[in-house]
Amino acid sequence: MANLKDIKEKIKSVKNTEKTTKAMKLVSNVKLKRAKEAAIQSSAYAAKINEVLSEIAVRLNSASTNEFSSKFFDMDKEIKVVDIIFVTADKGLCGGFNVASINAVKKMLAQYQAKGIQTRLRAVGKKGIEYFSFKGVDLLEKYVGVSSSPTYEKAQEIIVSAIDDFVAGKTDKVVVVHNGYKNMISQEIRVNDIAPVEPPVASGEVNSLMEFEPIDNASQILEDLLRKFFEYTMYFSLIDSLAAEHSARMNAMENATNNAQERVRVLNLAYNKTRQGSITTELIEIISGVEAMK
């Protein structure tokens, strides 16, 4: 049985761990509120971009003498090469957050391989990079320090190279995979097919106030707008992933804090039991000594 000193040291160590996990939970909670607010605003902005894009597409199509075409709308193209951009965290201690993203990518790789489709991976986040590098999987691009502090410029940098390869015919599909924020206690894997996309359709009447010059360059106008849309979609994926990461870490630290508190309770019981046993032993020895002296 452990002595009292050993048990006291264990209690002190566990209490220090509890303080750390509790502090990390509070920090994650604050960061989650900021990231969640940014994600909500970004989601609303992305929806508005999609609405405007659809209206412009229909407007251009109706105003042009010849129906415009774009590689981005070619849904009938045979898929031979797929670009997968996946997002994980740069840090751990967030439960199964990173594992979920990695498993989703592994599943996609297996599915595409079964169909004879070539895949290329672009990794965002240290944890995903470390895993696939350890497994010997080639990564076309690696981005560290982006998922923990996303900016529009970084999102643009990530997506532009993938879109350029798509336009150049090097790939036939671009997909973004990330673990997104669902609520305070859960996350969900989100797979966004970036390109090609379904041709947009305006939800209502076309805005008659919109004018485009020169209209002969309609396809180029729409392609420029689509690129902006892709960039913002990538940016939203990074923000959404960050909110989910903080949510997962907050829950993980709460569980760790609860486990530490339970461990302290068990150790305190063991300490009291050992102390009582020690006192009982000392009393028996004293009584035995007194009896021997009679």
- Cα-flanking dihedrals φ and ψ of residue 175, to 5°? -130, 140
**Cα–Cα dist 3/181, whole Å:** 47
In a domain, 36, yes or no: yes
Q: What is the pLDDT of residue 212?
A: 55
Instruction: Output helix, strand, coil percentages for the chain, rounded to the nearest 5.
Output: 65, 15, 25
Label residue 39 by pLDDT band (50, 70, 90).
confident
pLDDT digits (tens, 9 = 90+) for 189-217: 999 998 888 766 555 555 555 555 655 55
Residue 107 maps to which CATH number?
Answer: 3.40.1380.10
Q: Rounded mean pLDDT of 259-267?
A: 89
Round the average pLDDT of the chain to a whole number and report it: 83
Q: Rounded mean pLDDT of 185-191?
A: 92
In a domain, 243, yes or no: yes
Q: Which domain holds residue 100?
A: 26-251
In sequence order, the 6+-apart residues with CB closer than 8 A to the CB of 35 are: 181, 239, 242, 243, 246
Q: How many domains does the chain have?
A: 1
In a domain, 179, yes or no: yes
**Cα–Cα dist 21/17, whole Å:** 6
Q: What is the pLDDT of residue 203?
A: 53
Q: Rounded mean pLDDT of 270-279?
A: 80
Q: What is the pLDDT of residue 226?
A: 84
Q: Rounded mean pLDDT of 164-183?
A: 93
Q: Check residues 276 and 60 and name the one with the higher pLDDT.
A: 276
In a domain, 14, yes or no: no
Label residue 40 by pLDDT band (50, 70, 90).
confident
In a domain, 107, yes or no: yes
> Do the strands 186-195 and 173-183 form a parallel or antiparallel pair, or are they unpaired?
antiparallel
In a domain, 2, yes or no: no
In a domain, 16, yes or no: no
| % of the chain beyond a pLDDT of 70 | 81
The region that residue 12 occupies, defined by phi over 0 for left and psi between -120 and 50 for alpha, beta otherwise, is alpha
Q: What is the pLDDT of residue 214?
A: 56
Number of Cβ within a 10 Å radius of residue 269: 10
**Cα–Cα dist 113/244, whole Å:** 29
Label residue 67 by pLDDT band (50, 70, 90).
very low
pLDDT digits (tens, 9 = 90+) for 203-253: 555 555 555 565 555 567 777 888 888 998 899 999 999 999 999 999 889
- pLDDT(66) > 50: no
**How wide is the angle at C-alpha 99 spanned by C-alphas 93 and 100, nearest 5°?**
120
Label residue 75 by pLDDT band (50, 70, 90).
confident
Terminal Cα-to-Cα distance of the chain (whole angstroms): 34
In a domain, 20, yes or no: no
Nearest Cα neighbor of 120 from 144, 140, 104 is 140
Q: What is the pLDDT of residue 200?
A: 61
In residues, how long is the chain? 294
Nearest Cα neighbor of 240 from 32, 9, 18 is 32
- pLDDT(102) > 80: yes
Q: What is the pLDDT of residue 146?
A: 92
Task: Give, for 278, the enclosing helix (H) or strand (E).
Answer: helix 218-293
Q: What is the pTM of this model?
A: 0.81
User: Which residue type is seen at 293?
Assistant: M
User: Which residue type is seen at 270?
Assistant: A
In sequence order, the 6+-apart residues with CB closer than 8 A to the CB of 120 are: 81, 82, 83, 84, 140, 171
pLDDT digits (tens, 9 = 90+) for 112-170: 999 999 999 999 999 999 999 999 999 999 999 998 889 999 999 999 999 999 999 99
Q: What is the pLDDT of residue 77?
A: 84
**Cα–Cα dist 273/269, whole Å:** 6
**Cα–Cα dist 285/112, whole Å:** 76
